[in-house]
Structure 1
Amino acid sequence: MSTAYDVRDELFRAFNDHDLGQLSQYYSPSAVLVGPEGVAEGLEQIVTVYEHLLTALPDARLTPWYKATFSDPAVTEWMLTGTHMGPLLLPCGRYLEGSRRHIAVRGCCVAHVEDDKVITHQQYYDQLELCSQVGFPRVSK
């Protein structure tokens, strides 16, 4: 049996390979993914979230740089880098068309694993950092 970190590391590898089919193998069919953009319930919705992200950032890469020392949940801090080329779903629910800007956003995730599958996956990142890097329009008075 794999540890939560083994499963999450494989999930990161599949993401960095942009392999949605492989990525979906690491989630249980009833898994829940929670992030600033909302909640995705079930495999189909989760794959759709990743598909949208990889469309917006076709060269996206997740680089883990810290892993907590306990076994479950797997807690990891990471850096997401990429070039904003397509529509990006923002936490406010709006889409921002490709800006061609390079992003580097810090974040972390908490993944609970049972029977070698992620059952819940919470992602947290600095939303202001992302919005400022992609050129989200400022609100004027």
Structure 2
Amino acid sequence: MHDDHEVTDGLIDAFNAHDFERAAGFFSPRGVYVCPGGIAEGREEIASYFALYIEAFPDVTLTPTSTAVSGDLVVLEWTVTSTHAGAFLLPGGEFAQPTGRHIVIRGCDFRTMDGGLIASQRVYYDQLEMLSQIGVDLISG
């Protein structure tokens, strides 16, 4: 069993090390990860979902900016920096080809804890900001 700070620090460390099996180990076996790109259920799906980001953003780094804990709810604000160096799956199912552009995205996680593990994590960030930064043509004709 972990405490909230141990989970936060461990999850960030594992994510930044691109050790997604270890990162998924901070989730309960039936944990759920929800973000603008989709939903992953269970540790195996969560690890696979994290790994998708590395294909598009191989140097991704998450830097925490603030944390708040209230009961079993943990809120983490963060900044992600990376370089768009691989194909990125877009919401419509197409891929944004690598542009080499550097991105800086701010976002937050709302995490529900259960027994020292993450039961659910909901991730929020501005998709429009990210797509604009990687150079996706947002005006299609």
Structure 2: distance between partners of 1:10 and 1:4 = 10
Decide whether the 8 Å contact of 2:2 with 2:117 is kept in 1: no
Decide whether the 8 Å contact of 2:32 with 2:39 is kept in 1: yes
Runs of 4+ in 1 over 6 A off after TM superposition: none
The answer as to 2:61 corresponding to 1:61 is: yes
Higher mean C-alpha deviation, range 19-28 or range 120-129: 19-28
The answer as to 2:104 corresponding to 1:123 is: no
Matches within 5 A, 1:1-141: 1-141=1-141
The one-letter amino acid paired with 1:15 is F
Structure 2: distance between partners of 1:62 and 1:117 = 20
Unaligned runs of 5+ in 2: none
Structure 1: distance between partners of 2:140 and 2:39 = 30
Structure 1: distance between partners of 2:93 and 2:32 = 19
TM-score normalized with structure 1 length: 0.91
Decide whether the 8 Å contact of 1:4 with 1:112 is kept in 2: no
For the residue of structure 2 that corresponds to 1:68, the secondary structure is strand
Structure 1: distance between partners of 2:52 and 2:136 = 18
The one-letter amino acid paired with 2:7 is V
Decide whether the 8 Å contact of 1:56 with 1:86 is kept in 2: yes
Decide whether the 8 Å contact of 1:5 with 1:71 is kept in 2: no
Unaligned runs of 5+ in 1: none
Structure 1: distance between partners of 2:80 and 2:136 = 18
Structure 2: distance between partners of 1:29 and 1:91 = 27
TM-score normalized with structure 2 length: 0.91
The one-letter amino acid paired with 2:87 is P
For the residue of structure 1 that corresponds to 2:70, the secondary structure is coil
Decide whether the 8 Å contact of 1:110 with 1:121 is kept in 2: yes
Structure 1: distance between partners of 2:111 and 2:13 = 15
Shift of 1:6: 2.2
Taking every aligned residue pair, what percent have the same amino acid on both sides?
A: 39
The CA RMSD over aligned residues, in Å, is 1.6
Decide whether the 8 Å contact of 1:83 with 1:103 is kept in 2: yes
